[in-house]
Structures are given as C-alpha cells and as structure tokens.
C-alpha cells in the first residue's frame, strides 16, 4: 500500500494538524516517481514519526521545470514588487496563525526544546519573511555618470531558479533565511530539506499555496543528499545554489555546481573561538560561554566551541563554567517546558560526539566534565582543558555540547590561537577594555565577532564566514546581493 500524501498527526504535546507527506511541486503535493520514501525519526526516543516521499533525480527535474515555468510566467515575473511583498507578508501572517504547529513540528522532528522553537525559531522565521517582504519594493539600480554622450543605468534582476539545500539543526529558520531574499528579488526556488528534519518545510508548502503564491514559485523536496541534493547541485537548469551544511559536503556541492558555473553561496562549518581576557566580567563570560556552546545541544555552526582563557583566570573560569552547566543545562524531554538541552539529532550524530570524547582523551587533553550519557541520544555537557592547537578536538567541528579550554598569556598569542584553524565563522571577545576588544575584532579571522556576548544573530544582520566557513552572506541587505544580477544598460544620447 502506497504512502498517502498527507495524514493527521498528534504530537506528544497533544497538538494536532494535517501533515503533508508528498513532494511539493507546482503548488501540489505529489508522490515521488519511484515511490521512494524516507523516515522522519523522533530523536528523543528513536521512534518513527512518519514516512515522507523521497525525491530522486526524476523528481528534481519536475521541480526544476515547475520553477522555471514560474520564473518566466507573468503571474510571477510581471507582478509588481509591492505585490511580491504582500504575498510574503501574507505568508508571515499564516505562519503566525500556525505558530504552535510549526514549533511543535520542529521540536518533534529535530529534538529542539519546545521552549526554544516557540520563542526563537518560529518568531525569528516569521520576522525574516516580514523583513524581506519590506525589501521587495526597494531593489533598485543606479544611474552612472560617464559623460554627456551616454546615459548609463543598472538593473538588479533576479538570477532565476535557485536550488536551496538546508540543514537539520534549524529547519524552519534556515528555510526562511534562504527563501526571504530569494523571493523578495523575484526568483523561484527548489528547496531540499535535510533527511533528518523534513516536516516543517513541507507544512510551509501548504501555507505558500494558501497565501496565494503562483504555482511553481516554491517547490520543496524531501530526499537524501547523495540523490536529491546531488541532482539539485548538478542540474543544468538551476542558476544558483545556496547551501548550508558541513564543509566537506559544501566542497562536493561546489564541484557539482561547476557543471554550468552556477552562482554559489555556502554557509558551512565552524570552530569559533571565544577569547576571555583577565579583566572580563567573569560571570557574564561564563553565562555567554554556556549559551555559545550548549544552545541547541551544541548543534550550531557558529558555536563558540573553543574558549581561550588568559592564564590569570584559567582555572577559576573552568570551575565556574562547569558549575553553571550543572545548574542551567537541563537535560530532558524536548516537550517538557523546563528542558533546555535536548538530544543529538540522530544516533549518527550522538556517535560522532562520543567519538571525539575518546579522541580527546587519547591526545592527552584532560576531561573536566561530561563525556557521558543519561541514555538515548543525549550527551552530558562535555569539557576538556589543556587542549593544544594540534589536537583534533581543537581543530575539528564536533557539533555537540562539547567545549575545549586553552590558555594564553598575551593578546598576540590569543589572536594567533584563535586563527589557528581552517574555519572562520564567528568569534567572541570578552574584556572591559573596549579599545582592545575592537582591535581583536579586526584581527580575528571570522565573518562575525561578538564583544561581551556570544552567538547573537538577527535577520537584518549579515551572517556568514571566511576561510572554509563559507562564501557569501545570509540575512540583512547583504543577502539580496546573492540573488540578483547587475545588468548595465547604455543609451546613446548623441
């Protein structure tokens, strides 16, 4: 018996809704051509939530055809920018109406505490769409003065069909970050969700249709990276790829996208440093250090997973940090309102984190706390001290509640150690000396710097990295540049 295209769901918190299971192509939910499916698993108990249809290359072809037709159709291409913005505002209104459903879906599907999806992920996603709805009628070109004989102006035009591949750690929010600027500038989209968390962006398809978006503007396919993701990256009728995920996968995506020289933006891995000087407010540095690495059970690309401590506060900070984690990292059922620390998203991710515990021990670092599990896919906040630059736990992205502590003497040494990885996504600096803070902010190799705070992000502020942490920026006005081509027009006046 084939899988239906939708079914009623009842989550552990009692919320009910009709969940789409098909691929969303041309404003309709459809079966995959082969009938292939994948399972969405609850990370909290490892039980199946539901199956969904899984796209393969033939399904990607259909989604791309729909997106191309929509891009060229007057129903989308010829509406006014204000009308595009109005559609996006309507979508945001519908998301607000169904906010509890969207929060519930991501909590069940990904394991993030309901208190977080309800207060951060869903509201942030709604605000992102509203922000870019406001930008829709403000995409302007320029007139350029090159002399009296020519009138020269520029047009900023949509790139075309965009393939967007999102990660599992912030399913709805990462969709919003990519969809917002793409739609505001008039593009069409084929989005692939992560196989670990496919449900919320499928539900979003229902809301796109209800909001009145023309068919083919938003298409979403569930599927595996090696099939659906690969097919999107190498498809010759896709004009742009936007990818968020691991650095290794990004390299594969970039190579595949080169087949037709697609425009590519990448937001990839990180090993962000947090530098704490002797004069820092230690209580604030501990609080933000905890937020910076333990949020989302450490499954955050820009997590400040390397805490570099000036030698005068080294032992004191570590002791306070361990005590703070014991008090404020509340491990438990993601649907429990008191839980702050949910499970790792999968058995595979759990195994990855625990393997780094053994690597850290083998390399000679000292385990301060954690490295254990209360059961299931949960990992107790894990801390290593006396970590050296060459240790794998200093260099490699663990993507879990796993922090390393290292010592420095001087500002120059702190900067050198902060920059001693292939990554450059975020960095934090804690000091009361703001001159030093700004100096360090300039010299650290990262796309973002937080001074006396950590892991802040906002839909109006550019987000992205340098080195092997990515290409381009998401969020804010900067993201609009990723989705438009500048065309120069010359007019002879003689």
Distance CA 112, CA 104 (A): 10
Sheet holding 306-310, edge to edge: 366-369, 382-385, 402-408, 306-310, 273-276, 426-430, 448-451
Task: Return the residue matching tokens 């394991």.
Answer: 111
CB 330 within 8 A of CB 340: yes
Phi, psi (5° rounding) for residue 481?
Answer: -65, -25
Catalytic residue (one of 301, 302, 325, 475): 301
State the SS3 of 239-283. Answer: CEEEEECCHHHHHHHHHHHHHHCCEEEEECCCCCEEEECCCCCHH
Phi, psi (5° rounding) for residue 378?
Answer: -85, 140
Phi, psi (5° rounding) for residue 267?
Answer: -125, 110
Burial of 476 (0-12, 13-18, 19+ CB in 10 A): middle
Nearest-5° Cα angle at 233, 163 to 172: 40
Catalytic residue (one of 267, 397, 445, 474): 267
Distance CA 100, CA 137 (A): 31
CB 474 within 8 A of CB 265: yes
Element (H, E) at 406: strand 402-408
Strands (E), 130-270: 143-144, 150-158, 161-165, 188-192, 218-221, 240-244, 263-267
Distance CA 141, CA 485 (A): 11
Distance CA 365, CA 384 (A): 6
Q: Taking Cα atoms as reference points, which of 70, 76, 21 lies closest to residue 221?
A: 21
Task: Return the residue matching tokens 């801390």.
Answer: 383
The CA radius of gyration of the chain, in Å to the nearest whole number, is 23
> Is 302 assigned a catalytic role?
no
Distance CA 185, CA 161 (A): 12
> Is 234 assigned a catalytic role?
no
Q: At what angle do helices 122-135 and 171-184 cross, to 10 degrees?
A: 10
Distance CA 380, CA 371 (A): 6
> Would you name the residues annotated as active-site residues?
267, 301
């Amino acid at each position: 018996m084939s899988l239906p295209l939708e079914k009623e769901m009842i989550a552990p918190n009692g919320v009910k809704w009709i969940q789409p299971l098909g691929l969303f192509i041309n404003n309709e939910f459809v079966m995959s051509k082969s009938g292939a499916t994948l399972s969405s698993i609850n990370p909290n108990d490892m039980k199946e939530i539901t199956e969904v249809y899984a796209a393969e290359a033939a399904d990607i072809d259909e989604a791309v055809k729909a997106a191309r037709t929509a891009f060229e159709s007057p129903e989308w291409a010829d509406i006014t920018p204000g009308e595009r913005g109005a559609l996006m505002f309507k979508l945001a209104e519908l998301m607000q109406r169904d906010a509890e459903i969207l929060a519930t879906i991501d909590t069940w599907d990904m394991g993030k505490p309901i208190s977080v999806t309800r207060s951060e992920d869903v509201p942030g996603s709604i605000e992102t769409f509203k922000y870019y709805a406001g930008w829709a009628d403000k995409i302007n070109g320029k007139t350029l003065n090159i002399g009296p004989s020519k009138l020269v102006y520029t047009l900023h035009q949509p790139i075309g069909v965009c393939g967007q591949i999102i990660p599992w750690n912030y399913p709805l929010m990462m969709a919003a970050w990519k969809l917002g600027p793409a739609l505001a500038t008039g593009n069409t989209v084929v989005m692939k969700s992560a196989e670990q968390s496919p449900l919320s962006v499928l539900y979003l398809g229902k809301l796109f249709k209800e909001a009145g978006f023309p068919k083919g503007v938003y298409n979403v396919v569930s599927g595996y990276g090696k099939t659906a993701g690969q097919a999107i990256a190498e498809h010759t009728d896709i004009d742009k790829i936007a990818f968020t995920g691991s650095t290794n996968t990004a390299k594969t995506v970039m190579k595949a996208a080169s087949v037709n020289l697609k425009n590519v933006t990448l937001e990839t891995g990180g090993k962000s440093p947090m530098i704490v000087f002797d004069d820092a407010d230690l209580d604030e540095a501990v609080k933000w250090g905890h937020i910076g690495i333990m949020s989302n059970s450490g499954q955050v690309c820009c997590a400040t997973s390397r805490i570099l401590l000036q030698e005068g506060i080294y032992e004191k900070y570590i002791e306070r940090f361990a005590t703070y984690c014991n008090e404020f990292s509340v491990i438990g059922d993601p649907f429990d309102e008191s839980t702050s620390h949910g499970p790792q998203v999968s058995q595979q991710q759990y195994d990855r984190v625990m393997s780094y515990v053994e690597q850290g021990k083998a390399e000679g670092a000292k385990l301060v706390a954690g490295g254990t599990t209360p059961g299931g896919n949960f990992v107790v906040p894990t801390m290593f001290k006396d970590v050296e630059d060459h240790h794998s736990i200093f260099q490699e992205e663990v993507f879990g509640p796993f922090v390393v502590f290292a010592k420095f003497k001087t500002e120059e040494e702190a900067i050198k150690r902060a920059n001693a990885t292939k990554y450059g996504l975020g960095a934090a600096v804690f000091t009361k000396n703001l001159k030093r803070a700004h100096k360090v902010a300039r010299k650290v190799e990262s796309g973002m710097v937080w001074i006396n705070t950590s892991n802040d992000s906002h839909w109006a502020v550019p987000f992205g990295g340098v080195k092997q942490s990515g290409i381009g920026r998401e969020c804010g006005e900067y993201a609009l540049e990723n989705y438009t081509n500048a065309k120069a027009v010359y007019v002879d006046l003689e």
